Amino acid sequence: MKRKKYISGVALASGFMLGQGAAAQSNVTLYGIADLGARYSSGLSAANAPTSNTSTGITSGVNNTSRWGFKGEESLGNDMAAVFHLEGGLNLDTGSSAKSDKLFDRIAYVGLKTSAGRLTAGRQATILSDAINPVDPLGMRNASFNPNINVTALSNTAFGTHAFGTQYGTSGYNDNFYRLDNMLKFTSEMGPVTARVSYSFGEVPGDSSALSTTGAALSYQRDGFVVSGGYMKFKNRADFALDAYTLGAAYKLGEVTLKANYGNNKADTAINKETKQRIASGGGSVLVSPGNLLTIAYYRVRRDSTGFSQDGFDRLYAYLEHDLSKRTTLYVEADSTKWNGNAAGVTGTLANSTHGRGVTLGMMHKF
């Protein structure tokens, strides 16, 4: 009799422990995007730099960046949860990681979620990118070529005579400050208003300011209307500042969505030397028929740098997307770029074309 009671007690305790373990398990999701297209361009290289030649090839991420990742959440009780997110970019045409030195180059954070907001720590996209996301006319497509991602949110500052030439913030790169290491970010949603603040630690011995960043952003969304803006200050190792802000709006009416955004940044690149960039954009999308979305967007970029004449470019896009299913989309993309000033540059002794044009036929699958 005692043995039976002992066995029953063990079974009950084991069941209780298993139940507690099941309740504490994380809800983990594996996901990704596989995006690949065949592209032809004239006056643009395979990397979309100015050239005088034509280019053909297979390109990854012309619609959305190819990627893979894990994210999860575990309830801790009292309206609190632990969260984590790991995400790495992929070059689907070669099977390689987007960044050879970082497995999870896009996102790597852990944090806490409460009724007051969400606090995360690690490598994250900046507040500028958060602010642009709902109001970018292209819907954040074509990350390697989209001027709001490249210039407004500072993911590519390397082209031409106006390159910054130094690292601002903790991105780890001299020309890309779209994502930062060592970042604390707090996000709070209060009805239609979302507020964000961030700080990234420069971690330079003896100088707490060098490579640090601070930022704040605010957005309002209700009844198809969105207004979103943000500001960030970056420092480089010499404590020179890069100040950047963005402000945009979007409005959805039926099957039509209109979006516009303005970005501005100024970098002190050396003593008495600076580079300024201004980015204006507008466009919209329309569901022309069930499963067929047409998006058209225009971007105007102008840059000034000490010692150089003004340059920049104008870029026009058109995307037609056809949904084969909820996860698979065929698309045709066309773009035209007109280089302004000396932005086209030269290759060797040959002047590059002042116009660049491209077309891509691609497929995107989400899993």
Model confidence pLDDT, tens digit, residues 34-92: 999 999 999 999 989 999 999 999 999 999 999 999 999 999 999 999 999 999 999 99
| DSSP for residue 65 | -
Per-residue confidence at 9, pLDDT binned at 50, 70, 90? very low
User: Mean pLDDT across the stretch 169-191?
Assistant: 96
The predicted structure's pLDDT at residue 257: 98
The predicted structure's pLDDT at residue 348: 82
Least confident of 155-169, 195-209, 255-269: 155-169
Burial of 188 (C-beta count, 10 Å sphere; 0-12/13-18/19+): middle
The CATH code that applies to domain 33-366 is: 2.40.160.10
Per-residue confidence at 25, pLDDT binned at 50, 70, 90? low
The predicted structure's pLDDT at residue 5: 40
Least confident of 159-163, 174-178, 203-207: 159-163
Alpha-carbon distance 158 to 331, whole Å? 29
What's the start-to-end Cα distance of the chain, in Å?
A: 55
User: Mean pLDDT across the stretch 281-306?
Assistant: 97
The predicted structure's pLDDT at residue 2: 41
Alpha-carbon distance 148 to 297, whole Å? 11
Q: Are 236 and 211 in contact (CB under 8 A)?
A: yes
The predicted structure's pLDDT at residue 196: 98
Residue 19 predicted with pLDDT over 80: no
The predicted structure's pLDDT at residue 283: 98
User: Residue 47 is inside which H or E element, if any?
Assistant: none
The predicted structure's pLDDT at residue 349: 84
The predicted structure's pLDDT at residue 158: 85
Locate the domains of the chain by residue range.
Answer: 33-366
Per-residue confidence at 160, pLDDT binned at 50, 70, 90? confident
User: Mean pLDDT across the stretch 315-336?
Assistant: 98
Per-residue confidence at 24, pLDDT binned at 50, 70, 90? low
* CA-based nearest residue to 347, from 24, 52, 30, 14: 52
Residue 17 predicted with pLDDT over 70: no
**pTM for this predicted structure:** 0.90
* HSE (side-chain half, CA atoms, 13 Å) at 176: 13
Per-residue confidence at 347, pLDDT binned at 50, 70, 90? confident
CB neighbour list of residue 20: distance below 8 Å, 6 or more residues apart:
none
Beta strands of 146-255 (E only): which ranges? Answer: 179-190, 193-200, 213-222, 225-235, 241-253
Arithmetic mean of pLDDT over the chain = 92
